[in-house]
Amino acid sequence: MLFQGKNVLVTGAASGIGRATAIKFAAEGANVTIGDVNEAGLNATAAMMASKPRIVHFDALDFDSCRDLVAVAAQDGLDVLCNISGILKWGPTEDFAVQDFERIMAVNTTSVFVLCQAALPHLVKSKGNIVNTASTASLQGIAYTIAYSASKHAVAAITKGLAIEFAARGVRVNAICPGMVNTAMGNAAPPVGDVDWSLVMRNAPKLENGTCEPEDIAELFAYLASDKARKVTGSLFTIDGGQLAG
Protein backbone atom coordinates (compact mmCIF):
# COMPACT_ATOMS: atom_id res chain seq x y z
CA MET A 1 0.00 0.00 0.00
CA LEU A 2 1.34 3.40 -1.07
CA PHE A 3 0.68 5.31 2.16
CA GLN A 4 0.95 2.71 4.93
CA GLY A 5 1.35 4.57 8.23
CA LYS A 6 1.48 8.03 6.60
CA ASN A 7 -0.54 10.89 8.07
CA VAL A 8 -2.66 12.65 5.46
CA LEU A 9 -5.00 15.66 5.76
CA VAL A 10 -7.77 16.03 3.17
CA THR A 11 -9.94 19.16 3.14
CA GLY A 12 -13.24 19.36 1.29
CA ALA A 13 -13.78 15.72 2.19
CA ALA A 14 -17.55 15.92 2.70
CA SER A 15 -18.29 15.42 -0.99
CA GLY A 16 -17.02 15.11 -4.54
CA ILE A 17 -13.28 15.07 -5.17
CA GLY A 18 -12.36 15.41 -1.49
CA ARG A 19 -14.50 12.43 -0.53
CA ALA A 20 -13.02 10.24 -3.30
CA THR A 21 -9.51 11.31 -2.28
CA ALA A 22 -10.07 10.53 1.40
CA ILE A 23 -11.41 7.08 0.43
CA LYS A 24 -8.37 6.50 -1.82
CA PHE A 25 -5.78 7.43 0.81
CA ALA A 26 -7.48 5.25 3.43
CA ALA A 27 -7.50 2.33 0.96
CA GLU A 28 -3.76 2.88 0.52
CA GLY A 29 -3.11 2.52 4.25
CA ALA A 30 -2.93 6.18 5.35
CA ASN A 31 -4.12 7.60 8.67
CA VAL A 32 -6.46 10.23 7.26
CA THR A 33 -7.85 13.38 8.84
CA ILE A 34 -10.87 14.73 6.96
CA GLY A 35 -11.99 18.35 7.27
CA ASP A 36 -14.95 20.23 5.90
CA VAL A 37 -17.67 22.71 6.88
CA ASN A 38 -20.32 20.03 6.17
CA GLU A 39 -20.37 17.68 9.20
CA ALA A 40 -23.05 15.33 7.87
CA GLY A 41 -21.07 14.90 4.67
CA LEU A 42 -17.89 14.16 6.64
CA ASN A 43 -19.67 11.44 8.60
CA ALA A 44 -20.97 9.92 5.37
CA THR A 45 -17.45 9.95 3.90
CA ALA A 46 -16.03 8.33 7.03
CA ALA A 47 -18.49 5.46 6.65
CA MET A 48 -17.11 4.78 3.16
CA MET A 49 -13.44 4.69 4.20
CA ALA A 50 -11.38 1.55 4.81
CA SER A 51 -10.16 2.90 8.15
CA LYS A 52 -11.70 5.31 10.63
CA PRO A 53 -10.53 8.89 9.96
CA ARG A 54 -10.17 11.80 12.34
CA ILE A 55 -13.18 13.99 11.55
CA VAL A 56 -12.74 17.74 11.97
CA HIS A 57 -15.33 20.41 11.32
CA PHE A 58 -13.63 23.54 10.00
CA ASP A 59 -14.69 26.62 8.07
CA ALA A 60 -12.23 27.83 5.46
CA LEU A 61 -13.52 31.37 6.05
CA ASP A 62 -12.22 31.19 9.63
CA PHE A 63 -8.44 31.07 9.45
CA ASP A 64 -8.04 30.04 13.09
CA SER A 65 -10.16 26.99 12.36
CA CYS A 66 -7.82 26.21 9.43
CA ARG A 67 -4.87 26.29 11.83
CA ASP A 68 -6.74 24.16 14.38
CA LEU A 69 -7.50 21.60 11.67
CA VAL A 70 -3.80 21.25 10.84
CA ALA A 71 -2.91 20.96 14.53
CA VAL A 72 -5.32 18.03 14.94
CA ALA A 73 -4.14 16.35 11.73
CA ALA A 74 -0.47 16.72 12.69
CA GLN A 75 -0.73 15.32 16.24
CA ASP A 76 1.47 12.39 15.21
CA GLY A 77 3.22 14.22 12.37
CA LEU A 78 1.98 15.12 8.90
CA ASP A 79 3.14 13.69 5.59
CA VAL A 80 0.61 15.01 3.07
CA LEU A 81 -1.78 17.97 2.85
CA CYS A 82 -4.46 17.81 0.15
CA ASN A 83 -6.26 21.16 -0.17
CA ILE A 84 -9.57 20.37 -1.85
CA SER A 85 -12.26 22.59 -0.24
CA GLY A 86 -13.62 25.12 -2.68
CA ILE A 87 -16.63 27.10 -3.87
CA LEU A 88 -17.83 28.39 -7.22
CA LYS A 89 -20.38 30.98 -8.19
CA TRP A 90 -21.46 31.81 -11.72
CA GLY A 91 -22.84 35.15 -12.78
CA PRO A 92 -22.49 37.99 -15.26
CA THR A 93 -19.82 40.39 -14.05
CA GLU A 94 -22.10 43.44 -14.01
CA ASP A 95 -24.24 41.83 -11.28
CA PHE A 96 -21.52 39.98 -9.33
CA ALA A 97 -21.36 41.18 -5.71
CA VAL A 98 -17.93 42.18 -4.45
CA GLN A 99 -18.77 40.31 -1.22
CA ASP A 100 -19.11 37.10 -3.27
CA PHE A 101 -15.78 37.82 -4.98
CA GLU A 102 -14.11 38.22 -1.59
CA ARG A 103 -15.77 35.10 -0.14
CA ILE A 104 -14.58 32.99 -3.08
CA MET A 105 -11.05 34.34 -2.71
CA ALA A 106 -11.09 33.62 1.04
CA VAL A 107 -12.26 30.00 0.68
CA ASN A 108 -10.36 29.06 -2.49
CA THR A 109 -7.15 31.04 -2.02
CA THR A 110 -6.45 32.62 1.37
CA SER A 111 -7.43 29.51 3.33
CA VAL A 112 -5.13 27.44 1.10
CA PHE A 113 -2.28 29.80 1.98
CA VAL A 114 -3.12 29.56 5.71
CA LEU A 115 -3.40 25.76 5.62
CA CYS A 116 -0.08 25.46 3.78
CA GLN A 117 1.57 27.89 6.19
CA ALA A 118 0.37 25.88 9.19
CA ALA A 119 1.32 22.54 7.65
CA LEU A 120 4.77 23.41 6.33
CA PRO A 121 6.73 23.12 9.61
CA HIS A 122 5.37 19.55 9.94
CA LEU A 123 6.07 18.77 6.28
CA VAL A 124 9.65 20.02 6.59
CA LYS A 125 10.13 17.49 9.41
CA SER A 126 8.57 14.61 7.46
CA LYS A 127 9.91 15.66 4.00
CA GLY A 128 6.27 15.57 3.05
CA ASN A 129 4.29 17.29 0.35
CA ILE A 130 1.25 19.37 -0.56
CA VAL A 131 -1.22 18.76 -3.37
CA ASN A 132 -3.50 21.73 -4.03
CA THR A 133 -6.63 21.80 -6.16
CA ALA A 134 -6.27 24.36 -8.90
CA SER A 135 -8.41 24.07 -12.04
CA THR A 136 -8.38 24.51 -15.78
CA ALA A 137 -9.68 27.91 -14.59
CA SER A 138 -6.11 28.46 -13.30
CA LEU A 139 -4.80 28.31 -16.85
CA GLN A 140 -7.37 30.22 -18.88
CA GLY A 141 -9.94 32.93 -18.41
CA ILE A 142 -13.49 31.71 -17.81
CA ALA A 143 -16.42 34.01 -18.59
CA TYR A 144 -19.06 34.61 -15.89
CA THR A 145 -16.90 33.30 -13.06
CA ILE A 146 -14.10 35.84 -12.82
CA ALA A 147 -13.75 35.42 -9.05
CA TYR A 148 -13.36 31.64 -9.27
CA SER A 149 -10.83 31.90 -12.08
CA ALA A 150 -8.87 34.57 -10.18
CA SER A 151 -8.91 32.43 -7.04
CA LYS A 152 -7.60 29.39 -8.93
CA HIS A 153 -4.91 31.36 -10.81
CA ALA A 154 -3.78 32.38 -7.32
CA VAL A 155 -3.66 28.74 -6.18
CA ALA A 156 -1.33 28.04 -9.11
CA ALA A 157 0.88 30.93 -7.96
CA ILE A 158 0.88 29.67 -4.35
CA THR A 159 1.84 26.20 -5.59
CA LYS A 160 4.74 27.31 -7.74
CA GLY A 161 6.07 29.84 -5.24
CA LEU A 162 6.00 27.40 -2.32
CA ALA A 163 7.67 24.74 -4.49
CA ILE A 164 10.60 27.08 -5.00
CA GLU A 165 10.72 28.28 -1.39
CA PHE A 166 10.64 24.79 0.17
CA ALA A 167 12.43 22.57 -2.38
CA ALA A 168 15.75 22.84 -0.55
CA ARG A 169 14.02 21.67 2.64
CA GLY A 170 12.69 18.56 0.90
CA VAL A 171 9.02 19.54 0.59
CA ARG A 172 7.26 19.11 -2.76
CA VAL A 173 4.25 21.24 -3.71
CA ASN A 174 2.03 20.47 -6.70
CA ALA A 175 -1.47 21.24 -7.93
CA ILE A 176 -4.07 19.38 -9.94
CA CYS A 177 -6.03 21.25 -12.61
CA PRO A 178 -9.25 19.32 -13.18
CA GLY A 179 -11.56 20.20 -16.01
CA MET A 180 -15.20 19.25 -15.78
CA VAL A 181 -15.78 16.79 -12.89
CA ASN A 182 -19.04 15.02 -12.05
CA THR A 183 -19.67 16.60 -8.62
CA ALA A 184 -22.15 19.03 -7.08
CA MET A 185 -19.90 21.89 -8.16
CA GLY A 186 -19.25 20.53 -11.63
CA ASN A 187 -22.97 20.04 -12.22
CA ALA A 188 -24.01 23.48 -10.92
CA ALA A 189 -26.64 25.14 -13.07
CA PRO A 190 -25.45 27.74 -15.60
CA PRO A 191 -25.97 31.38 -14.61
CA VAL A 192 -29.26 33.06 -15.31
CA GLY A 193 -29.51 36.42 -17.03
CA ASP A 194 -27.77 37.88 -20.03
CA VAL A 195 -25.12 35.23 -20.62
CA ASP A 196 -23.64 33.55 -23.68
CA TRP A 197 -22.96 30.03 -22.33
CA SER A 198 -21.09 29.07 -25.49
CA LEU A 199 -18.25 31.29 -24.23
CA VAL A 200 -17.85 28.83 -21.35
CA MET A 201 -18.46 25.64 -23.32
CA ARG A 202 -15.96 26.43 -26.11
CA ASN A 203 -13.43 24.40 -24.13
CA ALA A 204 -15.58 21.32 -23.55
CA PRO A 205 -13.88 17.93 -23.06
CA LYS A 206 -12.74 16.36 -26.34
CA LEU A 207 -12.73 12.71 -25.27
CA GLU A 208 -15.91 10.79 -25.56
CA ASN A 209 -17.32 10.79 -21.99
CA GLY A 210 -14.54 13.27 -21.19
CA THR A 211 -16.10 14.51 -17.97
CA CYS A 212 -13.95 13.22 -15.10
CA GLU A 213 -15.27 11.26 -12.14
CA PRO A 214 -14.04 12.25 -8.66
CA GLU A 215 -12.16 8.92 -8.51
CA ASP A 216 -10.10 9.92 -11.59
CA ILE A 217 -8.90 12.99 -9.72
CA ALA A 218 -8.26 11.00 -6.52
CA GLU A 219 -5.84 8.75 -8.46
CA LEU A 220 -3.80 11.80 -9.39
CA PHE A 221 -3.76 13.04 -5.78
CA ALA A 222 -2.37 9.68 -4.72
CA TYR A 223 0.27 9.68 -7.45
CA LEU A 224 1.48 13.23 -6.76
CA ALA A 225 1.56 12.67 -2.99
CA SER A 226 3.52 9.42 -3.33
CA ASP A 227 7.22 8.75 -3.75
CA LYS A 228 6.46 7.78 -7.36
CA ALA A 229 6.34 11.53 -7.96
CA ARG A 230 9.54 12.25 -6.03
CA LYS A 231 10.94 14.35 -8.87
CA VAL A 232 7.74 16.35 -9.36
CA THR A 233 7.35 19.74 -7.72
CA GLY A 234 5.89 23.08 -8.78
CA SER A 235 3.76 21.29 -11.38
CA LEU A 236 0.22 22.03 -12.46
CA PHE A 237 -1.19 18.68 -13.59
CA THR A 238 -4.13 19.01 -15.99
CA ILE A 239 -6.76 16.26 -16.04
CA ASP A 240 -9.57 17.50 -18.25
CA GLY A 241 -10.51 15.08 -21.03
CA GLY A 242 -8.70 17.38 -23.46
CA GLN A 243 -10.53 20.59 -22.56
CA LEU A 244 -7.42 22.75 -22.81
CA ALA A 245 -6.08 21.01 -25.90
CA GLY A 246 -7.65 23.73 -28.01
Ligand X SMILES: NC(=O)c1ccc[n+]([C@@H]2O[C@H](COP(=O)([O-])OP(=O)(O)OC[C@H]3O[C@@H](n4cnc5c(N)ncnc54)[C@H](O)[C@@H]3O)[C@@H](O)[C@H]2O)c1
Catalytic residues, which ones? 148
**CA separation (Å) from 97 to 25, 85, 104, 147, 154?**
38, 21, 11, 10, 20
Which position among 32, 37, 55, 118 is part of the footprint of ligand X (CB under 6 A)? 37
For ligand X, the binding residues in 77-106 under the rule CB under 6 A are: 84-88
For ligand X, the binding residues in 41-80 under the rule CB under 6 A are: 41, 58-61
Q: Tell me whether residue 29 or residue 105 sits nearer to ligand X (CB atom).
A: 105
For ligand X, the binding residues in 165-224 under the rule CB under 6 A are: 178, 180-181, 183-186
Q: Tell me whether residue 7 or residue 133 sits nearer to ligand X (CB atom).
A: 133
* Partners of 176 in beta bridges: 133, 237
Q: Does 128 bind ligand X (CB under 6 A)?
A: no
Residue 49: CB minimum distance to ligand X, A: 15
21 within 8 A of 84, measured Cβ to Cβ: yes
The helix or strand, by DSSP H or E, that contains position 8, with its residue range, turns out to be strand 7-11
Q: Backbone phi, then psi, for 212, in 5-degree steps? A: -80, 155
Residue 4: CB minimum distance to ligand X, A: 26
The amino acid sitting at 181 is V
Q: Does 15 bind ligand X (CB under 6 A)?
A: yes
Q: Between the CA atoms of 6, 231, 18 and 246, what dihedral angle is there, to the nearest 10 degrees?
A: -170
Rounded to the nearest angstrom, the gap between the alpha carbon of residue 72 and the centroid of all alpha carbons in its chain is 19
Binding site for ligand X (CB under 6 A): 12, 14-18, 36-38, 41, 58-61, 84-88, 107, 133, 135, 178, 180-181, 183-186
